[in-house]
Structure 1
């Protein structure tokens, strides 16, 4: 894979470059937001982009937002020393696909990268539909009626998991097992962050409630799309 690393900590950036290169990947490194944005928009195509949250110049959120505004759907893994639900939610809102808090092990990082790349190239699962909500997992496209909705790879995976089981309650752990590459040790409540983000995109702007909470279990998708 070709990977872009945007990280201002020189030691960490070099460690990531060496480790990823040893795994057989081609790695480009940027140490500030301006260079990172230039490479992300014109230096690719990349298979995965690793973005530090806090950077000189444009930060990770700004870079990711610009990428998505340009129609770039490259999977983005956000790296940050910050921890907390609101920080992760902000990263998801900017279009990031996954979130990893420092310090992290290289083994976990490598697994997350493989998972993102695998989801980006998942075999055709067929078009899914719930009322006027249509999801094409292969093409990574979602729309409600005639309006396109931009989703990250992780959001797409969670939504597909629910839409494949219309009207059925799906447990948080089942969503973790299907969508996350390393579900064990991850708090199942992380699913709430992604469901909340999905609701803001596929429901709230349209006055719908297609993703219903099943208390004590998880979530279910309304068969009619809400």
Structure 2
């Protein structure tokens, strides 16, 4: 019964992939999701600017579209650039060694003559004078090391999808690049403070709270690198 279920699941998975043979993987649609919703419905403006005829004729206006205006993202629907430059190195080495030995002995040679009376009834060679004698010896040693090196440099445009009551901005950005039959996708989400956004309307990844950065791919190369479904099922089921 279990074998039949596994075969059916394998056939269903294979049928789903048969439709992709000879075709490049499709890009995700851009007309759905939180980003388009935030851009299409940015919300009501909190400040209404009243311009007079003198203000319209002036070269030094204070709006965002002026020459010296602040173009940083500040509300729902605005776009900013996320700069991802990860260059982390970690190296940990631990070594432990432990040894212990112990010896215990217990005897009752004299106790109101009671041991002598008991010894008469014990088998030959047995005596309470050396009733219990134990010894133990244990040795343990361990050695471990961790070495990691990661380097990643990326830039992606993200959209402000929500503004929290305290002014913190929730951002979400995605990027997909298709080369032949392989898609490389980058996804960034998190929370940023407006004051951390630079004058160039950029923010680095280390200033994003609850940052979730995903960089991967899908396509023919990724499929070849992954184990077959049957192998994954066997690895999950086998206890050894």
Q: Please classify the TM superposition score into its range, dividing by the shorter chain length.
A: under 0.3
Higher relative contact order (CA 8 A, sep 6+): 2
Task: Give 1 or 2: higher strand fraction.
Answer: 2
Task: Give 1 or 2: higher helix fraction.
Answer: 1
Kindly name which structure, 1 or 2, has the bigger radius of gyration based on alpha carbons.
2
Instruction: Provide TM-score, normalisation by structure 2.
Output: 0.21
Instruction: Provide TM-score, normalisation by structure 1.
Output: 0.22
